[in-house]
Structure 1
């Protein structure tokens, strides 16, 4: 039955409830499809609710089933997404060139575009007092040797406990959570000049020029003791915007798996942070940072590169499986870093590494090498790039969480290929020492 008068609506139109049943989703997800342009809705004057074309709904349901069941190549997992496309050595956010978008808009503005497909010039994110206080207390209790992703993960969990609405997975609620959580994570990090302590001055949250400071400005003192000058701050904001998302990286897949199980946004982000900590992902820039410092100290890349290869390690900061040439994120950051006088030595070291490696391999610079140049030249610790990467990517994780909430729950349930002994096996005997 529809929720419309049969005389007022053609029989080939469905109510919201009927459309949801055919698609196998909740009614609110039907409206998420509408907001993303995947379904058209119609409301007849004088009636309640919207109706949907039955043919269009059926086509979307078939497409969903086909994309969820189409066999993939061995070892390949494919997930439908409207967020990021990587193609022809370039990448795009919702169809817009990501490098160009990041060159014109701040991190917060790019994040909003990724979440909603709308631009909101001048938007700033603010941290609510209670979740921020909980996050700071939790981070302050960590051992001094805790890494940046440890702090961010603990901050996310603590902030969640102070948010009684965290289980509301509707799009408006998740967007509200995102705009509060990202600045909370940043403000929960200790200032670089007080790494041994955790007491923060009130100036940290003061307003700038009559408004809330950009996220880049609030993150800067947590990365380096140096003053926040215009050009380095611009590069930091550009790096954040460039790193917002990058298709289905390992951490993003973890986030989507959590969201598929309907974990709330804080928990989904925690899953991503856990994966990001690996040396092959978010921590890779730290390895490149140490390498560049060694190149500068030793006056050349040759002995450093030789040492990496002799130890059986890959050369940090080179190569990316999705690009045949230089990572476009690295290209964009290098162009800005070339205008920064204090980056000259680190840039020269990076180019020396590339030239040395090019004698034997065709690997090009990736974004980790560019982040290493930024962290070395601005006085950040080796973990600076990892912190920057993690904060930036939280916005992309929110976008994928929102998208996954509109899909069938628990759809990413692979089937294990058992390779152990075939049953029945006898019960094991106790091991004697």
Structure 2
């Protein structure tokens, strides 16, 4: 649509950068200060100090009335209900990958009028993720245990065995860290879909589609590829210098919003100290990070590129035994409550999101 933009005097904003298109009470991302605030509390106050369910309850304040009065109980019920979606996932074509099978599972979730759609979807995703991963490996899905909290049960359903307490704490820390992060691509997608009057499932599966792209949720896996390629910390400086000379991007460094260090990186890095220190990637991560930051400061002195959440996401999840092909599905698990909260906020406005475009094609003669 050309005329409203032309007549308003607004210049195009590629990528919508700098444009405010929504008001939210959920999260504030301050790229200059390197600060992330969720509902009035810094991410450092939440991640590592409380389980996933408590952080979700904080984010959902005044938005989602918790049906059972306790999110651990509510999510446990949703996990049990989610087993009804597993047959559809099992019968899907073999060529579907884990992420595609997860979206199918969400679409197949049964309705339960005692739970809100946000509770049903967010509580169910751990079952759907674990089932999709096991089906991919030719294994039978493991049924949930309603007596466990989300992080512990997710790890148990993935491996088939009870996880170590340190791994549970690390996963809780990760899931809380990625709960919400402003109007990123997947969250904006969810809000656009919600603005059309579509339902929560439509919005969440659409957000998952946006997250799948390598410029959004697909980056932590390549961080491990980089660490594998470097090998020992002694090779880091030369390897990184060569990558920069060839004009290639260092995965896990730089961010579209942050002009300083991503606060989530420090939250996850702190969690590494609480894990067993026998993982070689864990031991070499800090040395690689130092080499990368030194090289980037020299190569790009006019632009600060610091560590982002993807770097220590990769190291932390690898240290607790999460396969790299599960990084994006796990990201969706932690971000889903944020998506749902944004959907509810958007639905309250009742307004269709409909930006304009500037026509630059030929005109009729």
Same fold (TM over 0.5): yes
- Find the counterpart in structure 1 of residue 364 from structure 2: 423
Check conservation: 1:375, 1:384, Cα contact below 8 A. Answer: no
- Find the counterpart in structure 1 of residue 301 from structure 2: none
Q: Distance in 2 between matches of 1:196 and 1:352?
A: 34
Alpha carbons of structure 1 residues 163 and 421: separation in structure 2 relative to 1, 3 Å: same
Give, in angstroms, the shift of residue 278 of structure 1. 0.7
SS in 1 for 2:296: coil
- Find the counterpart in structure 2 of residue 163 from structure 1: 111
- Find the counterpart in structure 1 of residue 39 from structure 2: 94
Alpha carbons of structure 1 residues 72 and 163: separation in structure 2 relative to 1, 3 Å: farther
Q: Distance in 1 between matches of 2:72 and 2:289?
A: 39
Give, in angstroms, the shift of residue 312 of structure 1. 4.0
User: Are 2:135 and 1:135 equivalent residues in the alignment?
Assistant: no
Q: CA RMSD in A?
A: 3.0
SS in 2 for 1:395: helix
> What TM-score comes out, normalization by structure 1 length?
0.70
Bigger fraction of residues in helix: 2
- Find the counterpart in structure 2 of residue 17 from structure 1: none
- Find the counterpart in structure 2 of residue 274 from structure 1: 209
Larger RCO, structures 1/2 (Cα 8 Å, 6+ apart)? 2
Which stretch of the first structure deviates more once superposed, 130-139 or 288-297? 130-139
**Unmatched runs of 5 consecutive residues or more in structure 2:** 1-7, 298-303
- Find the counterpart in structure 1 of residue 48 from structure 2: 103
Q: Cα deviations across residues 338-377 of structure 1 (Å, max 9, x unaligned)?
A: 2322465323432233222222334221111111101222
Give, in angstroms, the shift of residue 129 of structure 1. 7.9
Alpha carbons of structure 1 residues 130 and 113: separation in structure 2 relative to 1, 3 Å: closer
Q: Cα deviations across residues 116-150 of structure 1 (Å, max 9, x unaligned)?
A: 25997773413458962442123223455644432
Check conservation: 2:52, 2:175, Cα contact below 8 A. Answer: yes
Check conservation: 2:176, 2:334, Cα contact below 8 A. Answer: yes
Q: Distance in 1 between matches of 2:130 and 2:185?
A: 27
- Find the counterpart in structure 1 of residue 3 from structure 2: none
- Find the counterpart in structure 2 of residue 413 from structure 1: 354
SS in 2 for 1:91: strand
Check conservation: 2:130, 2:154, Cα contact below 8 A. Answer: no
- Find the counterpart in structure 2 of residue 317 from structure 1: 252
Which stretch of the first structure deviates more once superposed, 328-337 or 346-355? 346-355
Alpha carbons of structure 1 residues 206 and 134: separation in structure 2 relative to 1, 3 Å: closer
- Find the counterpart in structure 2 of residue 30 from structure 1: none
**Unmatched runs of 5 consecutive residues or more in structure 1:** 1-68, 166-172, 425-433
User: Are 2:16 and 1:81 equivalent residues in the alignment?
Assistant: no
Q: Distance in 2 between matches of 1:277 and 1:413?
A: 24
Give, in angstroms, the shift of residue 179 of structure 1. 1.4
Alpha carbons of structure 1 residues 224 and 93: separation in structure 2 relative to 1, 3 Å: same
> What TM-score comes out, normalization by structure 2 length?
0.82
- Find the counterpart in structure 1 of residue 126 from structure 2: 186
Q: Distance in 2 between matches of 1:197 and 1:234?
A: 28
Q: Distance in 2 between matches of 1:128 and 1:355?
A: 43
Give, in angstroms, the shift of residue 152 of structure 1. 2.2
Superposed counterparts of 1:40-59, under 5 Å: none
User: Are 2:359 and 1:359 equivalent residues in the alignment?
Assistant: no
Superposed counterparts of 1:196-235, under 5 Å: 196-201=137-142, 204-207=143-146, 212-221=147-156, 228-235=163-170
Check conservation: 2:35, 2:263, Cα contact below 8 A. Answer: yes
